[in-house]
Amino acid sequence: MSETAEYAETASPDKGGAAPAATGSTSSRTPSPWRSRLYRWDIKASPYVFVAPFFLFFGAFGLFPLLYTGWASLHRLELTNLDDSTWLGLENYTNLLQSDYFWNALGNTFTIGVISTVPQLAVALGIAHLLNYKLRGSTLWRVAMLAPYATSVASASLVFTLLFAWDGGMVNWLIGSVGFDPVNWRESSWGSQFAVSSIVIWRWTGYNALIYLAAMQAVPHDLYESASLDGASRWQQFRHVTIPMLRPTILFTVVVSTIGATQLFGEPLLFGGTAGSKGGADHQFQTLGLYLYDQGWINGHLGRASAVAWLMLAILLIIAAVNMLIARRMRKDR
Amino acid sequence: MRSNFRRSRRLVTYAAVTALATSLLAACSSDDEGGSAGSDGKITLNVGTFGVLGLKQAGLYDEYEKSHPNITIKENVIERNDAYYPKLLTQLQSGAGVNDVAAIEVSNITEVVKTQGAKFEDLGKAEGVEKSTYLDWKWKQATTEDGKTIGLGVDIGPTALCYRKDLFEKAGLPTDREELAKEWAGDWDKYVALGEKYMKKAPKDTKFVDSASSVYNAVFAGAKERYYDKSGKEIYEDSQGRKDAWDAAMKVAQGDMSAKLKQFDPTWDQGFANAKFATVACPAWMAGYIQEKTGPEGKGQWDMAKAPTDGNWGGSFLGVPSAGKHKKEATELAVWLTQPEQLAKVFAKQASFPSTPSAYDSLKPSAATKAYFSDAPITEIFAGIAKNTPSAVYGIKDAQIGQSITDIGVLQVEQQGKSPEEGWEAAQKEIKDVLGQ
């Protein structure tokens, strides 16, 4: 027992290259077996204790809900009676795949995703490029960029709902002053999707711009210097130096925005107002997230809602796989 | 020296981990602590409500706290019932975080009675509760098949019609409430005909009603036949009550008589303030809403008349979930809050109409409310409607079916220009999805 204790003591990195005298001095006050056991236990267990919080959290708030929704998606489970479930197998999934509402929601999620993500990232890149110049009061501009991101979804959506109100809203007043007829934004199919996208764009452009800006500032200065020596204009510098150097960052923001777009929920829900989970009278802006909420919490079919959740996960995994392929291709190209 | 340092560092680490762990545990457990007895024997009772029930506004909690010094009342309000109700269900299912007293909306009461009956205390047997205190139909709605009464009636929604005298006058319509009530008595078609007349001379930027859905709900409030028959079978397709309500809503939607607002949206609130519509269906609980949203300029402009048919739209109950920690005290509170004297105070403050008929003779609206609605005999109007309200059969998914019809079907015709046939088809498809068929 004491031999192994000795071994542990000498092997400990602390005592690394200690002279024999030092070892002697340690063994002269050899700790009690209890203490050394505690010590070994400490060495072995401490790392686990340190990482435990993450795993506990992940288990409670990540893994368990994931598995439970998986289980629920295979059952008929109603919000009014969680103790009673009937095995359905894949019926929830086949029902969903045959439901017009599901495909409609998937389509809406895709179109809203495209018309919100593409302009958002393009504008963010432009803004970041502008902010990258030496500007007076640059901190002020940067903070201003981030302000929409710090606004809550609820207040932003409320303001946009009023802006897009069909009677007396500012947007209709503006297009009316140019001579167009007012648009019933919420109840028209492209109009509502445009309005919801505009909330998303407004909230997230600044955030992405700051990420781009951070990446731009990491681009070595001599690249620009040599480019300008070669006679490249500012625009050419942007195209041939900045963008290629930003590629990994752009890919990252594309992935994050895509995930955000797939899970879009708060903006359309609040834009819809009363009965917002329907996403309009014709479900014209009902996203997958809204459809899930409507099924689970308004209609009370938790089993079906869980199946929607798992299909959303599947969609995200497919997107991730495609993204990985593209990333690999990009690396090879270089 | 070094080993000392190591030991102290280790101690610090252990301390940190312990602190983290305990704070985590505390964070996890603090959620269901609500409503526990403090060390001084004080009890906090949580009352879960939606919208403006008016109990707090009428000062009832303060009054109760004064006469029961050991009790503190905390109201947890969620503004919209469509957010409140799912939360109530999950709390009842898990038994965690339930309010000691929980409000239930009338469109959900059948579902609660049929599926959650076992999770509530039987208030019918509680001390001080007399069945005869409450309207008979209200009592029955909250009673399970085996005779357990899980909720006591708070308010009901006898539905009148509120109208703006100033707009009616400009459009050349009569403004006297008796005359108007006589003109449209018994038939919603006559109300719609008046709307057509209004629209011919409508003041600029105004419409006859706020929304086609509100007309649907007002007509449906007086229906004898709703979405279910007595056996619990869905009959929404052929129900006469549903058909009448739908037809009236369609006439309003297609006749361009509606301001195309969605009730309880911010834009609807603005519609009140900017006088965008001349009439609005007026269940008792709406009276307070109209005053608040129209603001002081509306004083004396709004008036109130009996609707073509007598009906009930909305209303609520108070129940005591069995998972609560202080069932005895909570039951006492729920019983006290729903006594006629207390509900009369809510009426005086908020105009929410009591479900206890014995209070009707002594009911007095506040002077402000009376003046706001041009000195209309509010009590008599609502009491008269409440007496004649047909007893209707409510069903398990009333709320969701109603929402599918108003927010899908009616809205498609009103705002997307679809035909009534298309609108009804869409509503039917939605209802089938809701019912999981």
Per residue in A57-114, pLDDT tens?
999 999 999 999 999 999 999 999 888 899 999 999 999 999 999 999 999 999 999 9
Tokens 């397709």 sit on residue: B237
Q: Which residues of A touch B264 (CB under 8 A)?
A: 273-274
Q: Is residue A49 part of a domain?
A: no
Q: Which residues of A touch B20 (CB under 8 A)?
A: 53
Nearest 5°: the CA angle A68, A74, A75 is 90
CA-nearest residue to B110 within chain A is A80
Contact across the interface for A281 and B434, Cβ inside 8 Å: no
Give the Cα separation of A298 and B408 in Å (integer): 14
Contact across the interface for B407 and A166, Cβ inside 8 Å: no
What does the radius of gyration of chain A's CA atoms come to, in whole angstroms?
Answer: 29
Q: Is residue A77 part of a domain?
A: no
Question: Which residues 6+ apart lie within 8 Å of A213 measured at CB?
Answer: A128, A131, A132, A142
- Per DSSP, the three-state class of B33 is helix
How many Cβ atoms are within 10 Å of B426's Cβ, its own excluded? Answer: 22
From A83, A167, A281, residue closest to B408, measured CB to CB = A281
Identical fold between B43-156+315-361 and B157-313+366-434? yes
Q: Which residues of B touch A298 (CB under 8 A)?
A: 82, 86, 400, 403
Instruction: State the Cα torsion B280-B282-B287-B288 to the nearest 10°.
Output: -80
Treating both helix axes as pointing N-terminal to C-terminal, what angle do A138-150 and A189-217 enclose, rounded to 10 degrees? 140
Q: Is residue A236 part of a domain?
A: yes
Q: Does B267 touch chain A (CB under 8 A)?
A: yes
Under a CB-based contact definition with an 8 Å cutoff, are residues B163 and B112 in contact?
no
How many Cβ atoms are within 10 Å of B308's Cβ, its own excluded? Answer: 22
Q: Does B433 touch chain A (CB under 8 A)?
A: yes
Q: Is residue A2 part of a domain?
A: no
CA distances from B160 to A203, B151, B196 (A): 44, 26, 20
Contact across the interface for A14 and B264, Cβ inside 8 Å: no
From B6, B400, B412, residue closest to A298, measured CB to CB = B400
Give the Cα separation of A22 and A27 in Å (integer): 9
Give the Cα separation of A17 and A14 in Å (integer): 9
How many Cβ atoms are within 10 Å of B20's Cβ, its own excluded? Answer: 12
| pLDDT surpassing 80 at residue A289 | yes
Return the CATH class of domain B43-156+315-361. Answer: alpha beta
Four-residue CA torsion sign, A126, A132, A136, A137: positive
Q: Which CATH architecture has domain B157-313+366-434?
A: 3-Layer(aba) Sandwich (3.40)
Give the Cα separation of B272 and B257 in Å (integer): 16
Q: Which residues of A touch B216 (CB under 8 A)?
A: none
**Substitution target from B22, B416, B422, B428 for chain A, most A beta carbons within 10 A:** B416
What tokens does A164 get?
Answer: 């897009």
Per residue in A21-68, pLDDT tens?
444 444 456 668 888 888 988 888 889 999 999 999 999 999 999 999
* Structural domain containing residue A321: 101-333
Nearest 5°: the CA angle A108, A114, A118 is 160
Contact across the interface for A273 and B415, Cβ inside 8 Å: no
Under a CB-based contact definition with an 8 Å cutoff, are residues A268 and A279 in contact?
yes
Give the Cα separation of B123 and B318 in Å (integer): 10
Give pLDDT < 70 ranges for chain B: 1-40
Q: Is residue A1 part of a domain?
A: no
Provide the CATH number for the domain around residue A259. 1.10.3720.10
Contact across the interface for B89 and A80, Cβ inside 8 Å: yes
Under a CB-based contact definition with an 8 Å cutoff, are residues A237 and A231 in contact?
no
Q: Is residue A143 part of a domain?
A: yes
Q: Is residue A82 part of a domain?
A: no
The number of distinct structural domains making up chain A is: 1
Q: Is residue A105 part of a domain?
A: yes
How many Cβ atoms are within 10 Å of B203's Cβ, its own excluded? Answer: 16
Q: What pLDDT, on a 0 to 100 scale, did the predictor assign at position B28? A: 46
Q: Which residues of B touch A101 (CB under 8 A)?
A: 433
Give the residue extent of every domain in chain B: 43-156+315-361, 157-313+366-434
Quote the ipTM score.
Answer: 0.86
Give the Cα separation of A229 and A136 in Å (integer): 26
Question: Which residues 6+ apart lie within 8 Å of A35 measured at CB?
Answer: none
Give the Cα separation of B85 and B267 in Å (integer): 24
Q: Does B269 touch chain A (CB under 8 A)?
A: no
Backbone angles phi, psi at B127, to 5 degrees: -65, 135
